[in-house]
Amino acid sequence: MLNHRCLLAAGLFLCLGLPAAAQTVGVLQSAETMDSGTYKLALAPLMIFGEDGADDEFGVAGRAGYGFTESFDAEVKLGLFENSTYAGLDGELWLLHGKDNGAGLDASLTGGLHWIFGSDGYHDSMGFDLAPMISGNVSENLELCGALDASFESVDDVPAGMDDSYTRLHLVPGFEYRLSDVADLVGEVGIGLNDDSNNYAGIGFAFYLK
């Protein structure tokens, strides 16, 4: 009986300690990669909505990237949240060019990894990210985007006998609006598709320099 109580207590502690709120810095881009030789800097406030009585969590997500070719770019990511700090990097491969296929539809695949450093009793974790993405212009300046954003998490310092891994999965509709040759307005909502994925919303700006 004592062992069962200890296991239950450890499970409750783990559930309370997981960095569940600061789960993502979003996608916040279209399926088109940056032009070769272009630098990118993006900044976006995010609100992650708590579930089952949990508080909402506000954060700020930043990205800095570079276009290595006409079909591949890479970015470093940083997210500052109330209960944790998110740091990561990813690469995006532009698979389908809308200008070439006649349908005007772009498709890409993004993959990367990240670390979440918890505070106030929240656990640290590491994850691998994978996000297939599509987008297309509906006007000269407005592009609608959609992604299936998955992250496969591994939690540090989990009590013995408890599961130390879980998966985040979001359906992410969004937009990218061209403000000028060097700036875009970007926004999205993330719809959690499993119990480990909170809904979120974010909007911000992306700036480009060549």
Our count of domains for the chain comes to: 1
The pLDDT of residue 101 is 61
Residue 32: phi and psi, rounded to 5, are: -85, 135
The CATH number of residue 127's host domain is: 2.40.160.20
C-alpha span between 48 and 141 (Å, rounded): 28
Consecutive 10-residue averages of pLDDT for the chain (210 residues): 45 42 82 96 95 85 97 97 92 90 85 90 87 95 97 81 84 98 97 93 97
Structure tokens at 202: 């974010």
Q: Which residues pair with 146 in a beta bridge?
A: 134, 173
The pLDDT of residue 19 is 42
The pLDDT of residue 40 is 98
pTM of the complete model: 0.84
The pLDDT of residue 73 is 98
Number of other CB atoms surrounding residue 28 within 10 Å: 26
Residue 76: phi and psi, rounded to 5, are: -105, 145
The pLDDT of residue 120 is 73
Question: Do the Cβ atoms of 142 and 177 come closer than 8 Å?
Answer: yes
Question: Do the Cβ atoms of 106 and 126 come closer than 8 Å?
Answer: no
Question: Do the Cβ atoms of 158 and 14 come closer than 8 Å?
Answer: yes
The pLDDT of residue 103 is 66
Residues of the domain holding 196? 2-209
User: Which of 162, 158, 100, 153 has the alpha carbon at shortest distance from 130?
Assistant: 153
Residue 131: phi and psi, rounded to 5, are: -145, 100
C-alpha span between 41 and 130 (Å, rounded): 21
